[in-house]
Amino acid sequence: MSGCELRARGAGLSTQYILSESAFSGAVVCETGFDLNLSESNDLQEQVSAAAAFLREHTEQCRALADLLLPDAPILHFALWRKDGYSHAFMFPAALIRQAGAFGFEIQLSMFRAGDR
């Protein structure tokens, strides 16, 4: 699946906490945490904009989430489908790196060949 998700896993998370936080509404909850879809776009810039907006709009919830997960970290996962096998370079804006880093979030980029769907 292409898009951007916030992934959170850790012993400090409870289903009750996840469901009580409006910032995480729509999350897919599993036994150890949740995945929250922030963007379904296959365009990295659109994914970055969605992630930055989420972090900006939900500062307190993001900070609390990171504290709950220590020593683990929430992950902003960016996924792209590529039609070709050529090398590509993607750059994450410094502002997003600072924003995510301020909460202790990690950033992950996955690239998949379109033929693997």
3-state secondary structure of 78: strand
Q: Would you state the pLDDT for residue 86? A: 65
3-class DSSP state for residue 34? Answer: strand
Eight-state DSSP code of residue 61: H
Distance between CA atoms of residues 65 and 81, nearest Å: 29
pLDDT digits (tens, 9 = 90+) for 47-99: 999 999 999 999 999 999 999 888 889 999 999 887 776 667 788 999 999 99
- pTM value is 0.86
Q: Tell me the pLDDT tens digit for each residue of 9-61.
A: 988 788 888 888 889 999 999 888 999 999 999 999 999 999 999 999 999 99
Token output for 13: 């998370």
Give φ, ψ of 35 to 5 degrees. Answer: -125, 130
pLDDT at 12 (0 to 100): 78
Q: What local confidence, expressed as pLDDT, does residue 31 receive?
A: 84
Confidence check: pLDDT of 111 > 90: no
pLDDT at 116 over 60: no
